[in-house]
Structure 1
Amino acid sequence: MSQTTPSLENNPVEKTSQKWPLNFIHTTLSELKTQRGITLPLMAMNVTWFAKLAITTAFQGRLGDLQLASGTLAFTFANVTGFSVLNGLSGAMEPICGQAYGAKNFKLLHKTLLMATLLLLLTTLPISLLWLNVDTILIHFGQQREIVIVAKKYLLYLIPDLVITSFLCPLKAYLSSQSITVPNMISSCLAVAFHVPINPLLSRAKGLEGVSMAVWITDLMVMIFLASYVVIAENGKGGRWKEGGWWDQGVHDWITLLKLCVPCCLTTCLEWWCFEILVLLTGRFVNAKQAVGVLAIVLNFDYLVYSVMLSLATCASVRVSNELGANRAGLAYRSAYVSLAVSIALGFIGGSVMVAARGLWGPLFSHDKGIIRGVKDMMLLMAVVEVVNFPVTVCGGIVRGTARPWLAMSASLGGFYLLALPLGIVLAFKVRLGLGGLLAGFLVGMVGCLVLLLVFVARIDWVEEARKAQILAGNVEEKTVEEDGGDKEVVS
């Protein structure tokens, strides 16, 4: 039975009696409404996640300067070597599960959830060994022994969070790829509400180790809530548990997952690591204490804005992958460009908000006039970075939804590491522009990254991507048969 692929023009789903521009306005508004339903709960979830980090940092600071420095160092090490890797690997679920859901292949959804969880659990083993030897590593790189010893204790008590995250990340991706985002939002809000009272209790009882325990206990609550929701929803009326597929993994399935895991992981890690390198470079300035303080305060605002970007990127990935899986090339095209247009608009809004808040944000964190003045200046430059960063992040979500995350990886590698960091170092240390030079280099690299991604998105053949999605989602086999005249077509 032959499987034909619709073109952008003859997609039956998009046929309507309305003429352009009424048809264009109607379909765009419909897409915006759909994306709003996905994005707003994700935004709430991401904002609460960053709020949890701020609460954790606040309680570390209450224990003293040594505990604050050690906790910050330990959590930075944990992000770089652990959580960025696990989050990146789980990103491979988005295109597979998203396209499987669009194609109504629930068996593929089930086995991908199980495979991703097993993969992340295996990955925690080498990460745990690395954390057990964190003192040797950090001292080798010149960190103070006193701080490192306390940081190791923090990390030892944080190891359970690796196992919890190995379940939590796949569960979140499994639900969001089906446009189910409200449970993620509710669980995160409840967890943060619980995180506030549990921190003083555990910090008084166990000190910094208690703050570390509060982190994974809160994540455990979210994981239990989401796992319970999945089990109840899948087993309930109209549930899909009976579809099975949980243990149907084959070698081909693992190869497909791993091929997507590597670029997804590298893309996430390259982005996370770039910000950490930025902080480390700031520590090499003559006025390092003030420069690091300014950057930390500016990045705190950036994290809030980034929570919106991340939500938009996930929404773009979900919408594109769902429509491609459903073999609707035209709707996938529309979803991608609506997402991109929204990201550009919100980029200008985010930048404007940062400009408006630059005189108010610094005094919330410091009374030092030099730091306040530095924050005011750097937030002006960072606002321009945000305008560019919004479409960069969303373009990454679009190419991830097409199951080609290596495009985002290539853009991140070229923009951040081959352009932004070298140029930033030259401007900051050779031209002596300081922190402003670093951020200026970062801005140029971000523009380069955006140009690459826009070229990648513009060159996407949506009909071909829809055809590939049918293969990835298991609807058709990748075979060709010779028809009369030598024509080739995909055969189910």
Structure 2
Amino acid sequence: MAPAAGTVASSRHKKWSDECRNLWRVAGPVILTGIFQFLLGFVTTAFVGHIGKVELAAVSIVNGVVEGLAFGLLLGMGSALETLCGQAVGAGQLQMLGVYMQRSWIICLATSLALLPLYVFTSPLLRMLRQSADISAVAGRYARWCVPQLFAYAVNFPIQKFYQAQSRVWAMTAISGAALAVHALLSWLVVARLGRGLAGAAVVGDVSWWLVNVAQFVYLVGGSFPDAWTGFSRKAFDSLGGFVRLSVASAVMLCLEMWYYTAVLILVGCLKNPEIQVDAISICMNYQLWTLMVAVGFNAAVSVRVSNELGANHPKAARFSVVVATVTSAAVGVVFTAVALAARKQMPRLFTGDDVVVRETAKLGYLLAATIFLNSVQPVLSGVAIGAGWQSLVAFVNVGSYYLVGLPLAAVFGFKLKLNATGIWVGVLIGTVLQTVILFVILSRTKWQKEAMLAEERIREWGGNVELPHTQETGPSESTAAPDARKGPK
């Protein structure tokens, strides 16, 4: 009996190890890509900070509000491809990936046009929100110079989801890294050396984002995707209605999550004498943002794995991927949580020398640690939802958990009970706990065989015309999904 038991344990260990490798092959490059693209804006802000305080404030507002809104919406719209392309890859219908990407380009570019007035009328909109007249005027000029970036986002996100679905992620990581290096060099030359000011900083950002797009498109048409990209097609204009519905659901789901913690800053800003508490919350959010990038990598990885396996009619393998991704991301989250707890008194000094702010930030350390741990699990569950096509359902869960429970409780604790920033964060944390619990309940009741059948129907409805084999699985090791993923990224 011992040898048999040892064989079973060895087989389980191999399955777990193989799935971990599949996850990290996508998650690692996606994490690096996210960091590189985040640093594009960081570098711009750093150079603008040497121009003047008004310019720095204006760029911060545009990056955080105007571009943040556009970035979130377009990223969400493009995320519909994670469901469709991933399931098509699993089903072996690679010829549809290029068509899906073109449909997403059409929808995202149309969304960019709808968002264009936000950039054109940034200045009067900020004045309506009672922002400083000087900052509003400068922010308005900077936003108009950044319009090319708006359309760059619309092109970038669909092509990146196209790459991710096929686990060809190292290419976009290398391109983003090279673009960051060029961006830093151009920013130094144009802003610091030539003194072109805010306009120069914006133009450099435009050039850098379009450089990413051009490089990715050259790699696309250069023969690296012979089956998935066969050129532009009129089929891109077919089935746009269903594509729009899924894209909007993806955008709503993602934006509700992104805006939730932005609401924390808004609520804290409404407190009496909020300066110190806003500074403390901002420092915590900054650290949380870096840890969240790791979780977002697992979000993308589990989305790819689940969609691939469902498309290949391997429901047991999809379920196994969910378990491995959740446990792995949670383990990484435990490390970040431990660091946050251990350094809760020292970490704030990286951002400020004000002892009062340091003390207030340290008081929030326990809540920050709890949030970091939850946010190591929650994005993975959202990634499962994207891979399986549950965006509409999760959007409703987010509305209920975040906006009907979390934020009202935050307002009560923060203002009515006078717990200030701590109370606001506790209320928000309760909303996140509720959302995570609901998603776990949904997962525990999921019939994965039914999800595989729905994936097959989705592929047929939107152009696959595929006869998928109804094979009986015996375990995750029988997966044949995503041939490129099993070979490893290129």
TM-score w.r.t. the length of structure 2 is 0.89
User: Is contact 1:318-1:401 (8 Å) kept?
Assistant: yes
Query: Could you say if the C-alpha distance between residues 245 and 328 of structure 1 is closer, same or farther in structure 2, counting changes exceeding 3 Å?
Result: farther
The answer for the alignment partner of 1:66 in structure 2 is 54
Q: 1:243 to 1:207 in 2, by over 3 A?
A: closer
SS at match of 2:235: coil
Asked if 2 retains the 8 angstrom alpha-carbon contact of 1:234 and 1:241, the reply is no
Decide whether the 8 Å contact of 2:47 with 2:188 is kept in 1.
Answer: yes
Contact 1:264 1:406 in 2 (8 A): yes
Deviates more, 1:147-156 or 1:463-472: 463-472
Counterpart of 2:479? none
Partner of 1:265: 251
Query: Structure 1 residues 293-302 or 392-401, which shifts more?
Result: 293-302
Name the CA distance, whole Å, in 1 between partners of 2:211 and 2:273: 42
Equivalenced residues, count: 459
What is the alpha-carbon distance in structure 1 between the residues aligned to residue 251 and residue 203 of structure 2?
Answer: 26
Give the alignment partner of residue 207 of structure 2, picking from 205, 211, 217.
Answer: 217
Query: What is the aligned partner in structure 2 of residue 358 from structure 1?
Result: 344
Deviations 1:118-177 (A, max 9, x none): 111111112112221122222112112111101101100110001111111111110001
| Correspondence 1:32 to 2:20 | yes
Residue 168 of structure 2: SS of its match in structure 1?
coil
Pairwise CA distance, 1:18: 9.0
Deviates more, 1:95-104 or 1:333-342: 333-342
5 Å-filtered alignment, 1:7-406, equals 20-204=8-192, 205-234=195-224, 239-240=226-227, 246-249=233-236, 251=238, 253-406=239-392
Q: Deviations over 1:87-120 (max 9, x none)?
A: 1100101000000111111222111110101111
> Cα gap change, 1:298/1:54 in structure 2, threshold over 3 Å: closer, same or farther?
farther
Select the residue among 438, 442, 461 that pairs with 1:456. 442
Contact 1:107 1:244 (8 Å CA) reproduced: no
Q: CA deviation at 1:245?
A: 7.6
Q: 1:242 deviation in Å?
A: 7.2
Look up the equivalent residue of 1:422 and give its one-letter code.
P
Unaligned runs of 5+ in 2: 468-490
Q: Following the alignment from structure 1 to structure 2, what is the Cα–Cα distance between the partners of residues 36 and 126?
A: 37
**1:142 aligns to what SS in structure 2?**
coil
Change (3 A) 1:297 1:419: same
Q: CA deviation at 1:477?
A: 7.4
Partner of 2:408: 422
What secondary structure does 1:62 align onto? Answer: coil
| Cα deviation code 1:48-70 (max 9, x no counterpart) | 22333332222232222211111
Q: After superposing the two structures, state which structure 1 stretch, 139-148 or 354-363, moved more.
A: 354-363
1:219 Cα deviation (Å)?
1.3
Deviation string, structure 1 residues 317-348 (Cα, Å, up to 9, x no partner) = 00000011111111111111111111222221
Post-superposition shift, 1:377? 2.2
Distance 2:358 2:182 in 1: 33
User: Judging changes above 3 Å, is the alpha-carbon distance between structure 1 residues 426 and 60 closer, same or farther for their aligned structure 2 residues?
Assistant: farther
Contact 2:264 2:428 in 1 (8 A): no
Q: Is the 8 A contact 1:80 1:269 kept in 2?
A: no
Corresponding residue SS for 2:346: helix
Amino acid of the residue matched to residue 329 of structure 1? Answer: P
Distance in 1 (CA, whole Å) between partners of 2:416 and 2:410 is 10
Once the two structures are superposed, residues 165-217 of structure 1 have per-residue CA deviations (whole angstroms, 9 ceiling, x without a partner) of: 11111111100011111012111211222222222333243312222222222
Q: Per-residue CA shift, 1:410-435, capped at 9, x if unaligned?
A: 22212211121111111111111111
Moved more, 153-162 or 286-295: 286-295
Q: Distance in 1 between matches of 2:294 and 2:174?
A: 17
Structure 1 pair 18/468, CA: closer, same or farther in 2 (3 Å)?
farther
3-state SS of the aligned residue for 1:180? Answer: coil
**C-alpha separation in 1, matches of 2:408 and 2:271:** 16
Q: Deviations over 1:367-393 (max 9, x none)?
A: 111112222222331111111122111
- Does the CA contact (< 8 Å) of 1:188 and 1:222 recur in 2? yes
Does 315-324 or 458-467 show the bigger shift? 458-467
Q: CA deviation at 1:23?
A: 2.8
Greater displacement, 200-209 / 38-47: 200-209
Letter in 1 for 2:31: M
TM-score (structure 1 length as normaliser): 0.89
Given that 2:295 and 2:379 are in contact with CA atoms closer than 8 Å, whether structure 1 keeps it comes out as: yes
Could you give the per-residue CA deviations for residues 66-91 of structure 1, whole angstroms, max 9, x where no partner exists?
A: 11111111122223431111111001
The one-letter amino acid paired with 1:128 is L
**Conserved 8 A contact 1:94-1:318:** yes
- What letter is aligned with 1:454? F
